[in-house]
Chain A
């Protein structure tokens, strides 16, 4: 099963568990965000990736420059799971 198929199953399950009022507000939040034009400002293919140095889970600084010196980097941005 692909990730999208799994996610679709979770979305279906959420529909039955979440009150319709909440779902409507969440959907509006997503739609408004999409309509806000934010996606136009997201880093583009072919552009330079802004360098950064951030602490890892144990507080050690990790830089993008150091990571990409070893090979390509797959960089995810997550809100965190609650």
Chain B
């Protein structure tokens, strides 16, 4: 994950890890490198539940974990053996899920390169006006669109209202 991080941040995205484990446990299990992504604690797996990922470790496995000295109820801090199915979501600026990768087999993880590809597609400029670089400009003066729409900007806002925000919105994906 640390290796993919530069490419993820270069694509203008942030990387967040949600885990039910207490912060101290999270720090202990992190690589001894400076953390450049956020690790958030989801006490009681509440957010995990909202994303449809929560399950309880079967009793046969609980016994094995206990044998290995893994005290999950303590690490969770809520006395349960509940865990998230390991998953990765890519969420766009509007809060829409754009990619999902989840697998009950916790030894399988999404390829970091795939995540980077999704982000590249998301951040590719999608133009809503003729002002976008590379977009076809209406030929003047007889092009009907060019005659009706002002050059340089497809949608016009009153001065001082949303016009400042408009160029940034062109970068969004949908």
Contact partner, B98, options A11, A41, A45, Cβ 8 Å: A45
Known: A7-B108, A7-B109. A77 touches B61 (CB 8 A): no
A42 to B49, CA, bound (A): 9
Q: In the complex, how many residue pairs between chain A and chain B have their CB atoms under 8 Å apart?
A: 210
Known: A68-B91, A68-B92, A78-B17. A54 touches B97 (CB 8 A): no
Within 8 A of B (CB), among A8-27: 10-11, 14, 22, 25-26
Residues of B within 8 A of A74 (CB): 8, 13-16, 88-91, 115, 119
Residues of B within 8 A of A43 (CB): 51-52, 89, 97, 100
Contact, CB under 8 Å: B90 / A73: yes
Contact, CB under 8 Å: B17 / A76: yes
Q: How far is the CB of B78 from chain A (nearest CB, A)?
A: 14
Q: How far is the CB of B98 from chain A (nearest CB, A)?
A: 6
B47 within 8 Å of A (CB atoms): yes
Within 8 A of B (CB), among A52-66: 52, 54-59, 62, 64-65
A80 to B96, CA, bound (A): 26
Which A residues contact B (CB, under 8 angstroms)? 2-4, 7, 10-11, 14, 22, 25-26, 28-30, 32-34, 36, 38-39, 41-52, 54-59, 62, 64-65, 67-82
Binds A, one of B79-87, B128-136, B138-146, B149-157: B79-87
* Interface majority SS (helix, strand, loop, mixed), chain B: mixed
How many chain B residues touch A (Cβ–Cβ < 8 Å)? Answer: 74
Residues of B within 8 A of A34 (CB): 104-105
Contact, CB under 8 Å: B97 / A48: yes
Known: A30-B105, A45-B100, A57-B26. A76 touches B18 (CB 8 A): yes
Contact, CB under 8 Å: A75 / B93: no
A67 to B90, CA, bound (A): 12
Closest residue on chain B to residue A52 by CB atoms: B47
Residues of B within 8 A of A2 (CB): 111, 113
Contact, CB under 8 Å: B40 / A62: yes
- What are the 7 A-B residue pairs with the smallest beta carbon separation, nearest first? A41-B52, A54-B40, A80-B21, A33-B104, A71-B12, A50-B50, A77-B84
